[in-house]
Structure 1
């Protein structure tokens, strides 16, 4: 892990315990936020930045990449969709975990070229999560500790804001699929999941406008579509597991439809 930045010494100085990312290339393309997000993702990998480490402030990241603070904010929101970064209001952005080797770039490109393929992608997400969960049920050594921990984090994240919830949601579903014990399945699933929620939450990423279903007043409704998945897995009930995942899928379809409605 790279060394921490020096302690703050006065006004305008960097806060304590912020990791240094080192040299970066200046961003000069039409998709600045995507480029910044990808550079930060790669730096988390190459610099071996630990979970829980705080990234430099948005201001310092903007200086490093030669981009505006709104572009950096958008990039960090994109990373939170992947469950890689958690944005804590008034504190900064923190690394939640190291990225998996993903095929997200090619999936996103395909979706960009053919928006009509979204329905196929959403179906594939359902099949992959169902497969991961049911395979997990068939492995006596499957451990649900990560799924339980992820659900608890999801429950607590509503108080932390939209970024915290979305990141925790990604971690929960990834943990469900990882019970299969197959890292390739988990990696493919995460790439598909990220592409879909990037589409679902495009308005939030680009404008920081929170969708109504993620308002604190809807926290119970959100938990009600996630907890049954863990309950069914814990009971070893394959039919109930399939039903719980299917119900979550149907609610996600509703959210996607609502996110595409004009203001």
Structure 2
């Protein structure tokens, strides 16, 4: 149940994860003298603060980047020595950009609809270009996930297939924000590329199949499924690492 002391009220020009990060920092400060207190898990924090787990994950990343907490394998969220009371998430200069899940939520809304529109307007040439994008993704086995050109080209090709310049500019802006986001880079440190790349490439094949059928509904569902798979992997990767035996690598964690 949501705790009144930490109730979430989003003010104008504030990002939700910043509000939640400030609440968690306040919680840490208040409990600092209690030797029996432990940092709640992400699921427990989500229930207590009345927000989703993606928002909690973004807030934890923000706190981690400020040296207040650290995510340590099976130990979960560990509080580090810090002057928590001086942490601010309100001033413009402290804004580290949109949260990764905020960006993915926007992509889900826009790119799924764009795929549906693209299915109605797809040409044989467009489909060939998408095939080449997937082939490039399959060859980029030694490339960091955030730097895969084939993936970006695939999604931007679908955007251009809509024939709508506004949709293209919106999707370009979302990808540009992703590329510039320090939070994206921090979150992806917990992702094991070799375990997720086959799933995500399979998602792209499914999107292409739906576009070949010229089915707006199928294209919408395939794109939405892909982005939800990305969201789920980003949420679960860190938890999998926590169940790995001490001294083992992420690759050894159960999947």
Normalised to the residue count of structure 1, the TM-score between the two structures is 0.46
> Which is richer in helix?
2
Normalised to the residue count of structure 2, the TM-score between the two structures is 0.48
